[in-house]
Amino acid sequence: MSKLELRATSTVTLVVTVLVLAVGLLPSPVRLATSPASESFERNDIVPDLIDRAPEHTVQVKYPSKVEVSLGNELTPTQVKDRPTVCWPTEPDTLYTLVMADPDAPSRSNPEMRSWKHWLVGNIPGKEVDQGEVLADYVGSGPPQGTGLHRYVFLVYKQPAKVTFNETVLSSRNPNRGKWSVTKFASAYALGTPIAGNFYEAQYDEYVPELYATFTET
């Protein structure tokens, strides 16, 4: 091997050695922290029981009874019987769809009616829910006696544009809301994955029979 070839080989070897050492000094990849909402949704099995991917942002939900939804806190049917105010991060000139559903109907151990549609509003300008198109009027929690805690999940989807919904509009007196798939609904209208969410848990209390008595439509 000539002196020129030997010098070139040594140079290459030096460069490779420096690169290997440099890589070794680099910090290991750091896993990005999940948001409180996504972590809670995954830990409480809302993913995959209700949706395939957890939202990053938290929906703020406040009830007239002065209670708030807080990523899995326990509330009572009495406390959540009236429609809440809902707030989430919005973008200008954007429409949203709001969903509330119970994946634990009639119970978490036997969810044969998964999911039960509690509230559905589409074409919401920003966070002005009252200006949206009501597809299913709000119905509070009514878990049957002896079925334990149910998860009640709020989801917000960012719409790509105004949507023409082909859904049966349900009043609060109509209980025909079971076996409804949130993921199929979102897919049908190209809503993508939810951008925000929140949930609480509730079990039977003395208000539930009163709620059932309001179901006068069939």
Looking at the chain, which runs of residues are DSSP E strands? Answer: 57-58, 60-62, 73-74, 85-87, 95-102, 116-125, 133-136, 150-158, 196-202
Say which range, 30-34, 85-89, 106-110, 203-207, has the weakest mean pLDDT: 30-34
Polymer length in residues for the chain: 218
pLDDT band per the 50, 70, 90 thresholds, residue 9: very low
User: What's residue 218's pLDDT?
Assistant: 76
Q: Is the pLDDT of residue 31 over 60?
A: no
Task: Identify the pLDDT of residue 17.
Answer: 41
- Residue 34 confidence class, pLDDT cut points 50, 70, 90: confident
